Structure 1
């Protein structure tokens, strides 16, 4: 009688953090570098909302290639300090190149999971996270960890999506038939859970122990000469994960439908324009007793 061979050990699926790191490692070389300003204007709005001052110590979680990192470092000046952290090693490497090119000497960079940053508690004057918190599996726990990094009276600011125009929504809906359940979480678009309203996001910050929580908004417009420009841009950041789910024989049809949507929102200069409203939510750590 032949003894059956034992089944090979099953390789466990990658953790959510590992999947996110792998995705952003893949897109790091194109991230905010395809001629469509997106992450930089959003991050600049967040920096303005938290108003960093010369000499302050700032933490930038999910720093990417430095969209917020650079204006933060400029604002706090040579007497200040900015710590940037990102889960993607490639993003951190490219951010470091940018910092070196600009000659910024007040920036430190680390590969780190924003969900549970391994940084000293109670030392930061400002903590920011631009378009990060809705990707995290437990946003409330992450915000509590971020609040713990602040000095008494320090500020925490996040950016999230407050809503898209109809054309943008229809473009995103083109991917829906191909997405697995795990990718149908509408938190990222600001259409479900606490991220569906200003009050919901403010409640997260209040629940993390922050006081004086306020919200402001800004409309960010992106423009595309044609559908090819939109495809290149949408594959240059986290939406690449959605493209990866589209079968090869369905890609051409999706592009054709996208072209029709974009043609319907062309402006006087011929470009197609899409508008996303961005929400900036800021709170303060309680003052020392």
Structure 2
């Protein structure tokens, strides 16, 4: 598997999730989030799907079962351990319409107007530049396609909120929940990325 040339911030994320990859499926929480996102995304037979920060492939696998043999799903992740786990699951399930790639979601190159659906579950907040990421991904989306992102509420992680407040006192920026923690924040963020027909479900 090819190694990515990552900065320190992204390498830490890749290492963290590779360490977590063996036990990532012990909880069904990620699976439920992914299924809900794919359900909202109205995936149909024959579609081309991109799953960003696929983890152990929850969204990608759910989508691959829906698009059938005439469709194709690509799942990308920054962590080699996650990609290995995803591929193992796809092999066991015999999903030949599914491909997993080691890739940095903020530095990817796909054909423009290629995917009917693009998903990002549980990982959007890790992107270095949220608006820039959305603008990049939107280029790969076909006209009328759906970009579906799951974001966390401000109250989702009490420990994270406390950490954020402490770091703020020392002038350290910590992204969690700042741009995505409320419906209003999500609305503004998606509008900045020039997305249309925005729908936010809680």
Measured against the shorter chain, the TM-score band is 0.7 to 0.9
Q: Aligned partners of 1:173, 1:69: CA distance in 2, in Å?
A: 30
Alignment of 1:86-101 (within 5 A): 86-101=77-92
Q: In the alignment, is the contact (CA less than 8 A) between 2:154 and 2:161 conserved in 1? A: no
Asked if residue 65 in structure 1 is aligned to residue 56 in structure 2, the reply is yes
> Is the contact made by 1:143 and 1:204 (CA closer than 8 Å) also made in structure 2?
no
Alpha-carbon distance change, 45 to 133 in structure 1, aligned in 2, over 3 angstroms: same
1:183–1:28 distance in 2 versus 1, CA, 3 Å: farther
Structure possessing the higher radius of gyration over alpha carbons: 1
Please name the residue that 1:143 is paired with.
134
Tell me the distance in 1 between the aligned counterparts of 2:171 and 2:29: 25
Deviation of the 1:61 alpha carbon: 0.4
Deviation at 1:71, TM superposition (A): 0.7
**Residue 201 (structure 1) shift:** 1.3
Change (3 A) 1:93 1:157: same
- 2:192 is aligned to 207
TM value normalised by structure 2: 0.87
Aligned to 1:158: 149
CA contact (8 A) 2:155 2:161 kept: no
What RMSD, in angstroms, separates the aligned Cα atoms of the two structures? 2.5
**Whole-Å Cα distance in 2 between the matches of residues 197 and 179 of structure 1?**
21
Q: Flag the structure with more relative contact order, 1 or 2, with Cα contacts below 8 A and sequence separation at least 6.
A: 1
Of 65-74 and 195-204, the range deviating more from structure 2:
195-204
The more displaced of 197-206 and 106-115 is 197-206
Gaps of 5+ in 1: 1-12, 218-289
1:53 pairs with one of 44, 49, 52: 44
Work out the CA distance in 2 between the residues paired with 1:45 and 1:210. 21
Q: Which runs of 5+ in 2 are unaligned?
A: 1-5
